Amino acid sequence: MTMRDFVTTRLGLIAVAIASVTGPQAALASQEAILALERLEIGEFCAETSFLDGYATPVDANGDDRPDYVVNTQLLLCDGSQMMFCGSAGCTHRVWVQRSDGGYDLAYDGLVYEITFDRPDEPSFLARGRGGDTRVRLASVGPTAPQPDAAPGAHGPFSSERWTYHPDPVPHAGVADLEGGALWLACESGSIRVRYTAQWMFEDGAISDFVREWDRDYGLVPTFAAVGREIDLPSSVDERANAVAADELVDPAGPLVEILARGDFVTVYHGGSLEHELQYPLRGSSAALASLRAACG
């Protein structure tokens, strides 16, 4: 039996225990379940872990009176480091929501400074990030309302640890980096539009004049490199999306989507400039992009 199988079996037993007890015993069982789930989340990255006080904080995320949890990875020692899952955009936070059977669903996984549940009985919270406060609706307790007026590059919160798929405001899948940038693909006219951002692209929350001039004078031709393949993707500044977007739509079954669904990471080169080289993880991309392909038709 692998360690993951062992922990999964253990989680099943804990869920039964949670469903069968109340009071302090239930709280202890819930805490144990969350820490077991977290070990699964971080086990790939950390050989030795130590959870500090406050790592998992109980909340009522959706008004059902069951103990849910907010996790702040800044309160984790991963191989001796307390900043393994942190960057300039904050630290990875997760929200775990308890089901009626005692198990837990991951309702949020994103890079922020702080999470505040400020609206009782509503499954949403304020996420404080580098750009200010954002209202986030929990993914596992009901679909996010469509946003017909959203900009074409609008997207849901991304994790810096794995790719996630979001059905609204348009189907899209993506991932964040530890510096607050992101890479995401969205359905458009039966195909896919690729967009990405990086910390160095911005000044006062908007695309910098430097990037605009680069686009105007030389053109942006990022090279996506993964699993031994390199693909050039001519792109331009997308002012409405506040990002760089591919000039042409890509085939959901084409080579770019194929390499993004494989491997450990993708590197994005901008000519020979090491200063502007980007790297995004590909963990979870296969499942997220499979959902996106199905949604794009």
Is the pLDDT assigned to residue 103 strictly greater than 80? yes
Specify the pTM.
0.56
Beta-carbon contacts of 166 under 8 Å, excluding residues fewer than 6 positions away, are 139, 144, 155, 156, 172, 173
Is the pLDDT assigned to residue 8 strictly greater than 50? no
| Tens digits of residue pLDDT in 167-203 | 877 899 999 887 778 899 999 999 999 999 988 888 8
Residue-level length of the chain: 297
What is the helix (H) or strand (E) element at residue 213, kind and residue range? helix 209-217
Q: How confident is the model at residue 139 (pLDDT cuts 50, 70, 90)?
A: low
Average pLDDT of the chain, as a whole number: 81
Token output for 91: 């630290």
Supply the pLDDT for residue 126. 87
What is the percent of the chain with per-residue pLDDT over 90, rounded to a whole number? 37
Are the C-beta atoms of 268 and 280 separated by less than 8 Å? Answer: yes
Span 249-266, mean pLDDT?
93
Span 266-278, mean pLDDT?
83
